[in-house]
Amino acid sequence: MLELLRQPWPWYISGFAISLIMAMLLYFGKSFGFSSNLRTICSISGAGQKVKFFDFNWRKEIWNLLFLVGSVIGGYIVSQWLSTPDPMQLSASTINDLKGLGIHFDGGLNPSQLFGKDFATSPKGFFILLTGGALVGFGSRYAGGCTSGHAISGLSNLQVPSLVAVIGFFIGGLVMTYFLFPLIF
């Protein structure tokens, strides 16, 4: 059984579980949206004293921070007890395309070339990771949500604005992948 759990889980199990998580949070009287946590953390850090956007009652959002803590624990559980030593099954064409950019597939979840100590502590690497994060943080708040809030919660509620946001996610993602990656890497 444990051996089976250690294998990668198929997309339909994952999709089902994510919709279930959304439904569970609705049943708890909340709404699934992860990026709100970033605003909450800013607020807890005292940003509300200077910027009005962060001046709100963050205590009402503690539930979402607990969800965040759970997600960190979940990642830890998988890496400690549920991971497989086998390399990830990445499509050959992706491996090939990335090789053209000088990024080699090493079988892990994330390339050690980008998420290893050497890159992260180099000035270029540090800047790339920080900027990438900043784009996600800025964009998700500007768009009013991220993948969970728009792509999952919003689309499930048939919200056209969420569809526009998801189209935006793809415009940005495709521009980065096809036009900016060759310049960055």
Q: Determine if 122 is a binding residue for other proteins (CB under 8 A).
A: no
CB of 143 closer than 8 Å to CB of 150? yes
How far apart CA 40 and CA 143 sit, in angstroms, is: 16
Give how many residues touch other proteins by CB under 8 A. 123
Q: Determine if 16 is a binding residue for other proteins (CB under 8 A).
A: yes
Q: Of residues 59, 105, 123, 124, which one binds other proteins by CB under 8 A?
A: 105
Q: Determine if 56 is a binding residue for other proteins (CB under 8 A).
A: no
Instruction: Write the interaction track for other proteins spanning residues 142-161; mark x where CB under 8 A is met and - where it is not.
Output: xxx-xxx-xxxxxxxxxxxx
Between 22 and 58, CB nearer to other proteins: 22
Q: Of residues 9, 60, 99, 100, which one binds other proteins by CB under 8 A?
A: 9
Alpha helices in the chain (DSSP H): 2-6, 11-27, 36-44, 62-77, 92-100, 112-115, 117-121, 123-143, 155-156, 160-174, 181-184
How far apart CA 66 and CA 162 sit, in angstroms, is: 25
Per CB under 8 A, contacts with other proteins among 70-99 are: 70-79, 82, 88, 90-91, 93-94, 97-98
How far apart CA 180 and CA 185 sit, in angstroms, is: 9
Per CB under 8 A, contacts with other proteins among 158-177 are: 158-162, 164-177
